[in-house]
Structure 1
Amino acid sequence: MFSSVAPGVFWPALAIVLVTSGLAIAFPEGTGEALAAVQGDVIGGFGWFYVLLVAGFVGFALWMGFSRFGDITLGQDDEEPEFSLPAWFSMLFAAGMGIGLVFWGAAEPLTFFTNPKPGVEGDSGELAQSAMAQVFLHWGFHAWAIYVVVGLGLAYAIHRKGRPISIRWALEPLLGEERVRGRFGDVIDVVAIVGTVAGVATSLGLGVQQISAGLVSVGVFDEAGKPLMVGLIIAITMLAIVSVVSGVGRGIKWLSNANLVLAGVFLVALLLLGPTLFVMREFVQSLGVYLSEVLSLTFDTSAYTGEDGQAWQAAWTTFYWGWWMSWAPFVGVFIARISRGRTVREFVAGVLLVPTFVTFLWFAVLGGTAIYTQMQEGQTLLEEDGSIVSENVLFNLLEGLPLGGLLSGITIILVTIFFVTSSDSGSLVVDMLASGGDADPPKWSRILWASMEGLVAIGLMLAGGLIALQTGAILTALPFSLVMIGICLATYRALKAEHRLLLRAESRQRREELTREVGDELTDNFDDHFAEPVERTVVDVLERTERRGRKRKP
């Protein structure tokens, strides 16, 4: 039974997950206090590092897409893509950040509008613009560039070089095959598994908070307490197990396609039922504001806004950079697995540009509608005490629209399917890593890791809810960020070496063709222009020699 796993990866990763989740469940208050204390140290010491690192990842992704390496195929040179473009995009969204888009779609822009980032001032219009630009920063190019870094390195190693599906092999050009196969490679994969489990658990925790809020909103339950959330995690994890056992080509693909269609229907319905013209104008204007300020936003560390600024930075930007990096092993492996046959340029464009544009549109519709509603006199999406409860904002917004009950039901279904696809995709990726890169790991271990993700989500939920979930994501991202730096260096080295070989091969081929063409041309020219004169010269010489010989005879 255990012969299919990689012992140096499977057992250490499983032990870490079991111990951490067990402590969180057994000692929720103490775990919550410990996480809060560690979070302060990490944010205070490494927040600037996260900001600088993510900026570098954006530059690396753009460089790879526009560089001379863009024509290299992630597979054999004549290989066709495994999945069609629509299926590929749907799986990218389902695995990438689906739950977060629904959870924060209306809540985050509204939060930044009503409680601006420290240092941001102005009238309502200026605050709204600043809010949308900040949201675009958190969810746009920077987030997907993190996925490009890991996904591209892995896709090249897996599909071009025929390596197993494992994070370690993305570092082979930098570390060498011997180190990658040994303990050093085991450590890399263990870090990737722990980060993946924590990242997926964070998303699952956000998802059940919103599902429970939705069920209360439509009147199914009276209160969204922790018992309900724990029950939802258990129930939906069971659905994820059914999906992950069926594999990528069936359950995961079908659920992803269905959810993409459902999300599109929801987005169009909200756009048509809400302030349509305002939202479209706001989308274009917010896009312009974001593009004009993206450089300053990228490197903003809230250095001049005191403790309030640092607290805001920790709760939002640093959390997002940590969350995306903790998800990077999972999403990187998954998008590498489904990207066989794409070129480097297609991969970067597909993963970086298209999802970013659709994400911007999503936040423009949900966030723009929420801000518009809040700006209208006599309307509010806030709680009775004036606070914002993130999981309630979207349902509060839908209650004021036509067909609000139907849209609330669609939202619950959306989050549930995103929950399932995140869990089953994450479980499959973790199982691949724990099985030594096996593309089709055994079903029992898929079930095990899906259960582990649900267990960690329960533990973090009991240990402090959203704060504990955010802290877990930030902490697990720190060690993996070093791995990502190595992947950047390794990917560049590998692509540069192949491009150099390609140039040599093309140069050799051109020389051979030139030699062949020049040689034939010289032969033809010789026959046409020199053969007859040479023949006449030879005849003349022979005739003169013969005449001299006759004269010398007596």
Structure 2
Amino acid sequence: MAIRTAAPDSAAPAGPDSPPATDDLHPALDASIELSEPRGSGLDKVVFGVTALIAVGFLVWGLVSTASLSSASERGLAWTMTNTGWIFVLTASAFVVFVIWLAMGRFGNIPLGRDDEQPEFRTVSWIAMMFSAGMGIGLMFYGVSEPVSHFATPPPGTGATGSAQTAMATTLFHWTLHPWAIYAVVGLAIAYGTYRKGRVQLVSAAFEPLLGSRAHGPAGKVIDMLAIFATLFGSAASLGLGALQIRSGLEIVGGIGGAGNTVLVAIIALLTVAFVLSAVSGVAKGIQYLSNINMVLALVLAAFVFVVGPTVFMLNLLPTAIGSYAGQLPEMASRTGAEGAAVSEWLAGWTVFYWAWWLSWTPFVGMFIARISRGRTIRQFVTGVLLVPSLVSLVWFAIFGGAAIKLQQDGVDIAGAGGIESQLFTVLDQFPLATVSSILVMVLVAIFFVSGADAASIVMGSLSEKGALEPRKPTVIFWGVATGLVAIVMLLAGGEDALSGLQTITIIAALPFVLVMVALAVALVKDLSNDPLVVRRQYAIEAVEAAVVTGITEHGDDFVLAVEKDPEA
């Protein structure tokens, strides 16, 4: 029995020395692709000009009239939470379901590269780099404060205080599957488009399945501008958290009493200067080296607290946290402002802020995980991206959150020890070598600050220069300085409660990018539906099914399948 196809002769696989043109290749065959170079060279005057102008306008507004910016941001937050809070809640959970569906379904075996391409990095190295992506200022800032905050003051409607189960479940809800599913959507879209389709590394390029050539026109420029804004405010929020924690450490370790916003501004300015010097001097490898050292130091800090702290309690907390998270996940994922003003206010300070923060970090983290995942299948990608950082977060919060909860149970008021930013230092103060470990925390946060500004600024520079892999230093420095200044303005907008300023403006700034993310998911599915592997499978199913029916009808059990040229083609 012959399976007849109408594939043209040009569809035959070409040798490695003479790859066929992709336009002439049958859609069921793997194409030999070359990564696209940015169209033109240098600065995209529209993308950079518009975003830079708006960023400068925001800075001028915040520095000249902080009170009016604070008032406007509060009104904006109220409107956002009232009218669109449900969008953040719904889309975050939808992205978890979406990426799991991609991995478990017919798209799971599609490679992020050629059909026969092997992963660029070994699995161990890939996991190690994924681990480094899971660490940062956020885990340093919230490692103690979030679990103990939920322990002392649980989310509205979840019962009385003192539940370690609720505290850990809520924390893991914010730090495990949901954020990394959000990152995975962007990472998949960029990795697939770049390594499977040969597109330039721009967020807008991933919209070609929906927009066609318009992805490289005005519509694409708007998408890239929204990605820059998301990265700018998300990075600034992280830097602001770092500045708050360093200030708290200086107050406790250095004896600087009542350090105000002036100290915050000085910290951000000093670290921004350090970033600029590193960018100008070309010591990017040195910063990468420091970042690797930082990861090791973070592991040392965690191991120290695990050994000197309530070790058995932490170990008991691991299965408790996993079980509580799984049991309470439906309730946590469906919590919205419909439950009342108290829940709406709580969501703005926790869940919705987190979803907005993660959304704003997607261009940076998405590009990073895309870069290290060439050659992985979609199933491998999603499994690694969801599970590895989630496991890191589980262990981190079990150690630091567990130490804080146990101290709280034993009568040490960690939750009431000043602001959120000081609670890690309060925990360390209960253990040996408190001064040394506190200084280590400030060093860790400072290096995270500098390396984070470096990486985020490169992403914004790349988006400003048509996807250039190595944007020019002036562009990178501009966005690095702008990030530091935006962090200062966001902190000042919060007034006495600087953290609220970070949270409020982050939520508002991330709202437009939610719509970009939803459209990106649609574009990705459309792209994957036309993948050679999918088309091939469809051809095979239809052809083999028809061949088997014909073979049995004409020859019973005595027939064979063969492939030959269709004489009518």
- Give your verdict on TM over 0.5: yes
What's 2:241 paired with? 206
The CA distance in 1 between the partners of 2:277 and 2:540, in whole Å, is: 50
The CA distance in 1 between the partners of 2:61 and 2:401, in whole Å, is: 38
The alpha-carbon deviation at position 165 of structure 1 amounts to 1.2
- Residue 397 (1) aligns with residue 427 (2): yes
CA contact (8 A) 2:414 2:427 kept: yes
Change (3 A) 1:426 1:130: same
The CA distance in 1 between the partners of 2:114 and 2:180, in whole Å, is: 25
The CA distance in 2 between the partners of 1:115 and 1:154, in whole Å, is: 40
Which among 79, 83, 88 is matched to residue 41 of structure 1?
A: 79
CA contact (8 A) 1:94 1:418 kept: no
Which among 454, 457, 460 is matched to residue 427 of structure 1?
A: 457
What's 1:536 paired with? none
The alpha-carbon deviation at position 107 of structure 1 amounts to 0.6
Q: C-alpha offsets along residues 243-268 of structure 1, whole Å, 9 cap, x if unaligned?
A: 55688983454233222211111111
CA contact (8 A) 2:82 2:337 kept: no
Change (3 A) 1:216 1:85: farther
Question: What is the aligned-residue identity percentage?
Answer: 42
What's 1:549 paired with? none
SS state at 2:108 partner? helix
The alpha-carbon deviation at position 418 of structure 1 amounts to 1.4
Q: C-alpha offsets along residues 280-332 of structure 1, whole Å, 9 cap, x if unaligned?
A: 1012111111111112211111533x322211111111111111111112221
Change (3 A) 1:92 1:256: farther
CA contact (8 A) 1:326 1:474 kept: no
The CA distance in 1 between the partners of 2:513 and 2:561, in whole Å, is: 58
Matches within 5 A, 1:264-343: 264-304=299-339, 306-343=340-377
The alpha-carbon deviation at position 197 of structure 1 amounts to 0.2
The CA distance in 2 between the partners of 1:320 and 1:298, in whole Å, is: 13
CA contact (8 A) 2:41 2:465 kept: no
What's 2:113 paired with? 75
The alpha-carbon deviation at position 338 of structure 1 amounts to 3.0
Letter in 2 for 1:216: E
Change (3 A) 1:311 1:292: same
Which among 365, 375, 389 is matched to residue 409 of structure 2?
A: 375
SS state at 1:79 partner? coil
Counting matched residue pairs gives: 509
The CA distance in 2 between the partners of 1:247 and 1:501, in whole Å, is: 46
The alpha-carbon deviation at position 44 of structure 1 amounts to 1.0
Change (3 A) 1:112 1:98: same
The CA distance in 2 between the partners of 1:340 and 1:355, in whole Å, is: 19
Change (3 A) 1:135 1:388: farther
CA contact (8 A) 2:237 2:506 kept: yes
Q: C-alpha offsets along residues 478-528 of structure 1, whole Å, 9 cap, x if unaligned?
A: 1111110111111111112113333267679999xx99x9699xxxxxxxx
Change (3 A) 1:58 1:519: closer
The CA distance in 2 between the partners of 1:347 and 1:475, in whole Å, is: 30
The CA distance in 2 between the partners of 1:89 and 1:220, in whole Å, is: 40
Which among 172, 182, 185 is matched to residue 149 of structure 1?
A: 185
The alpha-carbon deviation at position 224 of structure 1 amounts to 2.8
CA contact (8 A) 2:110 2:377 kept: yes
The CA distance in 2 between the partners of 1:416 and 1:68, in whole Å, is: 44
Whose radius of gyration is greater, 1 or 2? 1
Letter in 2 for 1:47: G
Letter in 1 for 2:51: A
- Residue 457 (1) aligns with residue 495 (2): no
The CA distance in 2 between the partners of 1:207 and 1:21, in whole Å, is: 20
Change (3 A) 1:396 1:123: closer
Change (3 A) 1:209 1:123: closer
In the alignment, structure 2 segments of 5+ residues that lack a partner are: 1-39, 552-558, 563-569
CA contact (8 A) 1:435 1:441 kept: yes
- Residue 257 (1) aligns with residue 287 (2): no
What's 1:184 paired with? 219
* C-alpha RMSD of matched pairs (Å): 2.6
Which among 2, 6, 21 is matched to residue 59 of structure 2?
A: 21
CA contact (8 A) 2:176 2:393 kept: yes
Which among 467, 470, 477 is matched to residue 510 of structure 2?
A: 477
Letter in 2 for 1:470: Q
Letter in 2 for 1:71: N
Change (3 A) 1:373 1:430: same
Letter in 1 for 2:85: G
The CA distance in 1 between the partners of 2:335 and 2:291, in whole Å, is: 35
What's 1:348 paired with? 382
Which among 170, 184, 187 is matched to residue 206 of structure 2?
A: 170
The alpha-carbon deviation at position 77 of structure 1 amounts to 3.2
CA contact (8 A) 2:187 2:365 kept: yes
SS state at 1:173 partner? helix
Matches within 5 A, 1:56-135: 56-85=94-123, 87-89=125-127, 91-95=129-133, 98-122=136-160, 124=162, 127-135=163-171
- Residue 139 (1) aligns with residue 172 (2): no
The CA distance in 1 between the partners of 2:543 and 2:473, in whole Å, is: 49
The alpha-carbon deviation at position 241 of structure 1 amounts to 3.4
- Residue 491 (1) aligns with residue 527 (2): no
SS state at 1:318 partner? helix
The CA distance in 1 between the partners of 2:380 and 2:289, in whole Å, is: 23
Q: C-alpha offsets along residues 423-479 of structure 1, whole Å, 9 cap, x if unaligned?
A: 111011111111111112112211111111111111112222211111121112111
Change (3 A) 1:87 1:475: farther
CA contact (8 A) 1:154 1:170 kept: yes
SS state at 2:107 partner? helix
CA contact (8 A) 1:87 1:257 kept: no
Letter in 2 for 1:131: A
The CA distance in 2 between the partners of 1:74 and 1:66, in whole Å, is: 16
Q: C-alpha offsets along residues 154-200 of structure 1, whole Å, 9 cap, x if unaligned?
A: 11111211111110011111221x11011000000001101100000
The CA distance in 2 between the partners of 1:102 and 1:187, in whole Å, is: 34
In the alignment, structure 1 segments of 5+ residues that lack a partner are: 521-554
The CA distance in 1 between the partners of 2:239 and 2:428, in whole Å, is: 23
The alpha-carbon deviation at position 207 of structure 1 amounts to 0.4
CA contact (8 A) 1:244 1:251 kept: no
CA contact (8 A) 1:25 1:458 kept: no
CA contact (8 A) 1:270 1:365 kept: yes
